[in-house]
Amino acid sequence: MLNGSLSKESWYLIHIDGLVQGVGFRPFIYRLATEMQLSGMVGNRNDGVFIKIRGSENDLRNFENRIRKESPPAACIHSISIHKSEPELLDDFRIIESKNTSEEITGVSPDIAVCADCLEDMERQIHRKDYPFINCTNCGPRFSIIKELPYDRHFTSMEPFRMCKSCNSEYTDVADRRFHAQPIACNVCGPVYRMISGKEVLYSLDDILNELSEGITSGKVYALKGTGGFHLMCDAWNQAAVLRIREIKKRDAKPFAIMASGISEIKENAEVDENEERLLQSWQRPIVLLKSKGRLAGAVSNGLNKVGVMLPYMPFHYLMFKKLKTQHLVLTSGNITDEPILIGNEEASSVFGNSVDGIIDYNREIYNRADDSVCIVVNEKPMILRRSRAFTPQPVFLNLQVEGIFAAGAELVNSFCIGKAKQAIMSQYIGDLKNLETLSFYEETYSRFEKLFRFKPRLVAMDMHPDYLSSRFASDLSEKHHIPLVKIQHHHAHIASVMASHQLDTEVIGVSFDGTGMGDDGKIRGAEFLAADLVDFERLLHFEEIPLPGGDRASIECWRMAVSYLYRVFGEELFALDLPLFRSIEENKVSGIVQLIEKRINSPMVSSAGRLFDAVSSIIGLVHYNSFQAEAAMRLEASINPFEKRRYDFDLSGESISFTPTIKQIVADCQQGIGQDDIAAKFHNTIVEVVVDSCMNLAKERANKIIVLSGGTFQNHFLSAAVEKRLSAAGLKVYLPKSVPVNDQGIALGQLAVAAKRHSSGLI
């Protein structure tokens, strides 16, 4: 009887929700159903993919299992629902062409690293022998080449290339791996590379690779066109070449990313655990920050103990490593410091033409620029620090209706976010909105998103800081469309961003630590403990306020903050202290700052975790000037002696958290000649304790066990890992963001969520 019902055939309607369009999902379902001899159909719908099949309950169960297990690498199944359905008059299985135009909205997939099958085809298929643009339905460029929807070849920058006969027959054969692979191409019909060095131009791939290999070995520097923009490239073992790239980028001091030929080559220079290995090999191929063994040229990581590494992700990268003698290349974004990554061939040749030894580009346009994404593993979970290539425009699935909401983001490491139904689509990493170039990248990207996702704004969200260029863009947009504008406090947005990424919609205790964000009273804040939900927040606790002498200049000149803390603790006696700081900064400069503070000239009161890290870093003589954002904090973290478990005292008894005892003990340690590594460790242990103690107290007081950690300071691996472990062990539920950056790039998602929730609650 049971067997009878299991083998009885019926018709079923299966609905699959998630990232299932533009990633080769329908051909996969077709092949699976055909293999299992099930009849029916598959098609795209605006809310995912639907399948109708005829089969027994057993078939259905196997079918569902195999969908979950074998779906294409870039697909991400959110849910599968199954219902009985009306019978269809079908004896075979077919792919139904989609007619609904709005359905393509979810059809824009991120760029996908070349797959293993294609790498094999690159050796096997005659028309694709060593073809550097090989791709299939599972891999290849997507977001970077799309101009318009639907995602069809003629709306991508593949449009000028006419498919040859073989490509066309693969493209139209539903059983082929390249069925409807829009960027399909081969040696006969597709794009080609070229190399320009001086007056010489090479077109033969062999010549290019030979020349490149010799050049890299002899220390030359090249610009190489990638998926989402140009890279600058050289041998990562060659100090002089690496320093040359720093000059070309106009003295960029940030650590450079490395591309290594394989995992074992990465391990030669860095420690890699299994979670990091999985992340490195994922189809997104992000840059992963790893603990460096310090073997490559010193100028790569510039004295930091972490190195950002990625594996090859374009066919050309693989071909290149076959020829190269070195297995480690610097592969850093091809831009001038603080400007967007370059994408145009002519642009690259005018900016880099005179400074590099050669430019390797190709004749397909990059339409949407995207830097490499950056991740780190914290307590065995990936955390994303820069969300761009291979993540954009993958939506963040929400529990909220966000249609028509535009969230402008903040200022530094900016990204904006648009709402479509219950999905948030974040823009790629735009950068620091401080110059015309990044602003025009922002504006251009907004108009592309508007068109691509058929986005009609009906509500605009922005930061409270009126001078951010993103805020100005937001208010202009709201005026232009006559739609409401809502201002969302920076730290509330930080917390809401993490909540939205986990679909949390309840009251939480939020810890938001960063450099600076404007409070609703116009004060600058960056060390906040909040009780927050998606509608509103209450400020529970914060770091003691301290003068920020010289305003914004103090975020670059850390020593100003050091003087500010020392003056708070020691008053005029600070001049008598024997500190490393005073060996680098002249006394008259120090007294100048003391004057500013005393006379309260341009010295707003701030409460900021970032500035406290700056101050400590400078007091102990590590960094006095930030040559890139968060340098002082990064070097302080890099100095930690992991065996030092002690900490300093702090004061939780007042209305705010005071570090007067901490600073006193740090000064005492300095005067006793205690090493920077021990002080750095004790200071970090202190901050961990401050967060843990405060959260435990607040959790008890508010009878709330949910803790959310957010803000750029939590990019500090030591801090995030230790706080999460300690609070979880104490029985609290701790959240760091999932799939969005913890820094200001994540702000837009938080703004979007708060605006949506306020709107649905009738508050807007």
Our CB check for Zn ion shows the closer of 188 and 668 to be 188
The partner in contact with residue 106, picked from Fe ion, Zn ion, none with C-beta cut-offs of 5 to 8 angstroms by kind, is: none
Cβ(513)–Cβ(526) below 8 Å: yes
Q: Least separation, in Å, of the C-beta of 125 and Zn ion?
A: 10
Residue 744 engages Fe ion in binding (rule: CB under 5 A): yes
Q: Of 347, 422, 429, give the one whose Cα is nearest residue 384.
A: 429
Mask: binding to Zn ion, 90-129, rule CB under 5 A, as x and -?
Answer: -------------------------x--x-----------
φ/ψ of 451, rounded to 5, equals -75, -50
Q: Which two tokens stand for residue 525?
A: 């804040």
Q: DSSP letters along 499-554, please?
A: HHHTT--S-EEEEEEEEEEE-TTS-EEEEEEEEE-SS-EEEEEEBPPEE-TTTTHH
Residue 192 engages Zn ion in binding (rule: CB under 5 A): no
Cβ(462)–Cβ(475) below 8 Å: yes
The residue from 32, 41, 42, 186 that contacts Zn ion (CB under 5 A) is 186
Stretch of residues binding Zn ion (CB under 5 A), selected from 14-22, 182-190, 275-283, 742-750: 182-190
The partner in contact with residue 514, picked from Zn ion, Fe ion, none with C-beta cut-offs of 5 to 8 angstroms by kind, is: Fe ion
Select the residue whose beta carbon is closest to Fe ion and give its number: 514
Stretch of residues binding Zn ion (CB under 5 A), selected from 138-146, 150-158, 349-357, 516-524: 138-146
The partner in contact with residue 744, picked from Zn ion, Fe ion, none with C-beta cut-offs of 5 to 8 angstroms by kind, is: Fe ion
Q: Which residue in this structure is represented by tokens 């027994």? A: 56
The residue from 16, 23, 167, 232 that contacts Zn ion (CB under 5 A) is 167
Cβ(232)–Cβ(249) below 8 Å: yes
The partner in contact with residue 118, picked from Fe ion, Zn ion, none with C-beta cut-offs of 5 to 8 angstroms by kind, is: Zn ion
Stretch of residues binding Zn ion (CB under 5 A), selected from 178-186, 398-406, 567-575, 754-762: 178-186
Q: Which of residues 482-541 bind Fe ion (CB under 5 A)?
A: 514, 517
Q: Least separation, in Å, of the C-beta of 450 and Fe ion?
A: 26
The site that binds Fe ion (CB under 5 A) totals a number of residues, namely 3
Q: Least separation, in Å, of the C-beta of 503 and Fe ion?
A: 22
Our CB check for Zn ion shows the closer of 188 and 601 to be 188
Residue 463 engages Fe ion in binding (rule: CB under 5 A): no
Distance between CA atoms of residues 652 and 540, nearest Å: 13
Residue 164 engages Zn ion in binding (rule: CB under 5 A): yes
Q: Least separation, in Å, of the C-beta of 168 and Zn ion?
A: 8
Q: Which of residues 691-720 bind Fe ion (CB under 5 A)?
A: none
Q: Of 29, 30, 50, 38, give the one whose Cα is nearest residue 9.
A: 38
Residue 111 engages Fe ion in binding (rule: CB under 5 A): no
Q: Of 743, 710, 740, give the one whose Cα is nearest residue 724.
A: 710
Which residue type is seen at 588?
Answer: N
**CA torsion angle 661 665 667 670 (round to 10):** -160
Q: Which of residues 550-589 bind Zn ion (CB under 5 A)?
A: none
Q: Which residue in this structure is represented by tokens 């929730």? A: 757
What b/e string do you get for 495-506 counting C-beta neighbours within 10 Å, with b at 16 or more? bbbbbbbbebbe
Q: DSSP letters along 654-687, please?
A: SSSBB-HHHHHHHHHHHHTT--HHHHHHHHHHHH
Our CB check for Fe ion shows the closer of 144 and 745 to be 745
The partner in contact with residue 657, picked from Fe ion, Zn ion, none with C-beta cut-offs of 5 to 8 angstroms by kind, is: none
The partner in contact with residue 706, picked from Zn ion, Fe ion, none with C-beta cut-offs of 5 to 8 angstroms by kind, is: none
What is the torsional sign of CA 343, 347, 353, 355? Answer: negative
Q: Which two tokens stand for residue 11?
A: 């018709």
**Where along the sequence are the contacts to Fe ion (CB under 5 A)?**
514, 517, 744
Q: Which residues bind Zn ion (CB under 5 A)?
A: 115, 118, 136, 138-139, 164, 167, 186, 188-189
